[in-house]
Structure 1
Amino acid sequence: MSGKAKWPQGVGRHLLDTVDSTNAEAFRLAPHHAGPCWIVAGEQTAGRGRRARAWASPRGNFHGTLLLHPTEPAATVALRSFAAALALRDAFVALTGLPEAFRLKWPNDVLLNGGKVAGILLESSGAGQGVQHLAIGIGVNLIAAPDPAQVEQGAVPPVTLLSETGLRVTPEAFLDALAPAYARWETAFTTQGFAPLREAWLAHAARLGETIRARTGTETREGVFQTIDETGALILRQSQGPVAIPAAEVFF
């Protein structure tokens, strides 16, 4: 493992004790920050996951948001969820030295030994079709995970970094690994587009080439996870041919 990566130049850093939600705090700070900024809290009192689900936020876990002010169209901005997933994996590998233990689950989870260790939630604000501010919310089970009984049936079981690796990492130490990792992928994205991120993400994708289920609302489709396309959509191979799914919950 290399030495500690340097904090990225020009990126702000706010460490808070308690906050309702780091994404909500990011939007409150947005008018006062011209550049990117990380907001990390010791605990959240109203953390949110995907589809407005409550996100358990006990002390010792990582609750953070990267605030950005993107200039691309909304569909392009949304591809930063893949940059965040790749950065999370890089941070985990840098801290643990276990590259084979971590896989990326479409659309925005990180798995450790097959269990969910981290999730990503993108939220944006803007006028019309534009995105003025982007909040990349990240939650990591460093030392605690939800009770498996509270997890949706068929979903990937939650795990913690501590239970799976024996490694106890503070939220601040995790941020020190994550921020430089994200900055590298952000540079790749803004200079080279989505292609290098897509290639890297697919190299670490969970269940690629295997049969999975994708649920959108009330419809569930089953097929072989073939790839993701240049828009980040999941491509499922079914008997009638490949189908592109832009958004869904995936079950193994």
Structure 2
Amino acid sequence: MQIDTIGETGSTNADLAARLASGDVLAEGYWLVADRQTAGRGRQGRQWFDTPGNFMGSTVVELRVSDPPAMLLSMVAALALLETVLQRLPDPLRVRLKWPNDVLLDGAKFCGILLERVKGHAVIGMGVNLVSAPSIDGRDTRSLSALGPAPQRDAFACELAAAFAKEVARWRSHGGGDLRTRWQAAAHPLGTVLSVHDEHGAVVSGQFAGLAEDGALILRLDDGSQRVIHAGDVTEEKA
């Protein structure tokens, strides 16, 4: 495991993607962590807001022919974040997962995960609100500091890197079925009514019916049919 830090950059994901594209050899276990990002990105092209003391970093995974679906690596990252955060929370029920790759604290967003594919590798970026959370119109945000002393960024980085390496190894050895089962146990229960703004801008509502082999969301619609959704924003409907 190697963690390099940089004072300021546009995006750690973009940095690693550029290095891979230019032929650099980046071994699994390598992380690039920034004190500040000026062009951090989230899913669907959203801006990721940084704050000094928060965690902003990226790593790489070599994609092998024998590996489970690469899209599941977003869930690998979410489970690694979950494991790292749970060590610091007195009540584990305050944190849970939301499809496709969110980790929620008291129902609010406090981290982001971005997965990109570059020349036979997956570049996985993560941002975690350790000391403060940005104010974003229409979205609830939280930071770990709201529950107690904020973890020191470098210590958090080491713990997250170790947890991620463990989850990648388990993804390869146990396959996607084990990963989906463990992810689902920490997410919305089966039967939860969800509304999804899909990649085409349409809103689809139905009951959560599990995950497809590639990690796609399965909804059971009112007519009994199932809809498989590969990308979108999820809202859990209140009972």
TM over 0.5: yes
Contact 1:233 1:245 (8 Å CA) reproduced:
yes
1:14-70, Cα deviation, whole Å (9 max, x unpaired): 111111101011123333334111111011011011111111111111101112221
In the TM superposition, residue 201 of structure 1 has moved relative to its aligned partner by 0.2
Query: Does 1:178 pair with 2:166?
Result: no
Match of 1:14 in 2: 4
The DSSP-based 3-state class of the residue aligned with 1:78 is helix
- AA aligned opposite 1:18: E
Aligned counterpart for 1:222 among listed residues 198, 205, 210: 205
Query: Aligned pair 1:89/2:77, yes or no?
Result: no
Partner of 2:233: 249
Q: Residues 9 and 34 of structure 2 are in contact (CA less than 8 Å); yes or no, is this contact kept in structure 1?
A: yes
8 A contact 1:12–1:35 mirrored in 2: no
After superposition, give the CA deviation of every residue in 1:57-103 in whole Å (9 maximum; x if it has no partner).
Answer: 11111101112221248981121101000000000012334322110
Contact kept, 8 Å, 1:23 with 1:136, in 2: the verdict is yes
Q: Does 1:237 align with 2:220?
A: yes
- Unpaired runs of 5+ in structure 2? none
CA deviation profile, 1:88-146 (whole Å, cap 9, x unmatched): 000001233432211001001100111111111101123xxxxx221101011111212
Q: Secondary structure at the match of 1:123?
A: strand
Partners in 2 of 1:184 and 1:249 — Cα distance?
Answer: 28
> Which secondary structure state, in structure 1, belongs to the residue aligned with residue 49 of structure 2?
coil
Q: Does 1:43 align with 2:36?
A: yes
Contact 2:68 2:176 in 1 (8 A): no
Query: Would the aligned equivalents of 1:94 and 1:177 in 2 still touch at CA under 8 Å?
Result: no
TM-score by length of structure 1 reads: 0.86
Within 5 Å, give how 1:1-252 maps onto structure 2: 11-30=1-20, 31-36=23-28, 37-72=30-65, 76-126=69-119, 132-149=120-137, 151=138, 155=139, 157-163=140-146, 165-206=147-188, 208-216=190-198, 217-240=200-223, 241-252=225-236
DSSP-derived class of the 2:166 partner? helix
- One-letter identity of the residue aligned with 2:174: Q
1:201 alignment partner AA: W
Q: Residues 3 and 32 of structure 2 are in contact (CA less than 8 Å); yes or no, is this contact kept in structure 1?
A: yes
| SS of the residue 1:162 aligns to | helix
One-letter amino acid matched to 1:35: A
